[in-house]
Amino acid sequence: MKTPIHTTLNNTNQSDVITALCRSLPSDTNAESGLWLPLIPIGAFAGRDGRSWNNSDPEAVINNTILPFILDIDHASETTPNTEASGWITKLKIENNHILGLFELNARGKEVIEDKRYKFYSPAFNITKDGVVHALASVGLTNKPNLNVPALNNATTTPNSNQKDTPMDPELLKALGLAADADKSAVLEAIKALKAAKKAPDLNSFVPQATHTQVVTELNTTKQQLADMQAAKHKEAVETAINTAIADKKIAPADKEFYTSCCSTEQGLADFNKFVETKAPIIGDSNLPSTSPKEDKSTELNSEQQEVLAQMGVTVD
């Protein structure tokens, strides 16, 4: 049995995102070659009233559409016996993810647009019972784009007053756990139920914000204290290693600042210790006292000093 085809009119219930279903007419209506304007988008699209359609095969839609088709006023050719045209859509093409139509306005169409009696246009198209776009039927000039008009049968079928609107967005119905034929009221009830079921968060999965902040602060403080302790311990180790190297005459005291900077990291300190282990003393034994002159108050001379004085004929008292 042949799938029945119905004509749907797009009205104020169409989504603002689907701009092809509610278009503002361009100001230039005098183009002799006509105006290419978008009619319907490619793929799935939905209306504000919950109705949704699918332009899944735009090439088939173009092939199924009889050209030219009428540009009327307020979809009069679809809803009344009046078939007076304000222009014609003479060609179709696919571009920018839409089906575009070539609008050729007659004198009546140009007049009502230039006089700003009509500002918008909206397409009417044939659909299957599953909401799949079959063909374009007409385009209407209108000042009330996207009115809440139910889907209508085309001229080859008898209007059915019991006909239901196309089902709502399948993904939305699935997310709400509803059947595929659920209507708008069922969706609203499901949303209300979700709001009513809203409850406090599970305390086993969440903590109060104040507790979380306190824990993070204490953790950061502990980490800083540990870092300070490690830095102090490292500084002490560097100081010990440098002083030991100076005492062992492995490095000159004047180079202490240089070697201290080389030991700023753990690796640097390790490299310095390895360097010192293999380095010979750079300062020989001078037999000088280990204390400074200010600290050493004695007058005792060493053997070398005594020998120099003897050569000079000076005796040691």
Cα dihedral sign for 105, 111, 115, 117? negative
Start-to-end C-alpha separation, the chain: 141
Residue 173 and residue 74 share a domain: yes
Quick check: is 300 in a domain?
no
Residue 139 shares a structural domain with residue 37? yes
Query: What pLDDT, on a 0 to 100 scale, did the predictor assign at position 301?
Result: 67
∠202-205-207 over CA atoms, to 5°? 90
> Residue 292 has what pLDDT?
52
Closest CA to 190 of 171, 173, 169, 209: 173
The two structure tokens encoding residue 126: 């044939």
Residue 169 belongs to what domain range? 6-181
Domain final residue pick, 181, 203, 232: 181
Q: Is the pTM of this model over 0.85?
A: no
Instruction: Check whether residue 171 and residue 37 sit in a common domain.
Output: yes
d(CA 176, CA 174): 5
pLDDT of residue 90: 96
In a domain, residue 290? The reply is no
pLDDT at 162: 42
Tens digits of pLDDT across the chain (317 residues): 455 566 666 644 333 323 334 455 665 555 556 889 888 889 987 765 667 789 999 999 999 999 999 999 988 998 889 999 999 999 999 998 899 999 999 999 999 888 888 888 888 889 998 889 999 999 999 887 653 332 222 233 333 434 445 557 788 888 888 887 787 788 888 888 887 776 666 667 777 788 888 888 988 999 999 989 999 999 999 999 899 989 888 888 988 888 898 898 989 889 888 888 888 887 555 554 555 555 555 566 666 566 655 655 556 66
Would you tell me how many other CB atoms lie within 10 Å of the CB of residue 238?
20
In a domain, 288, yes or no: no
Domain end marker among 130, 160, 181 = 181
| C-alpha span between 23 and 32 (Å, rounded) | 21
Cα separation, 74 vs 174, whole angstroms: 35
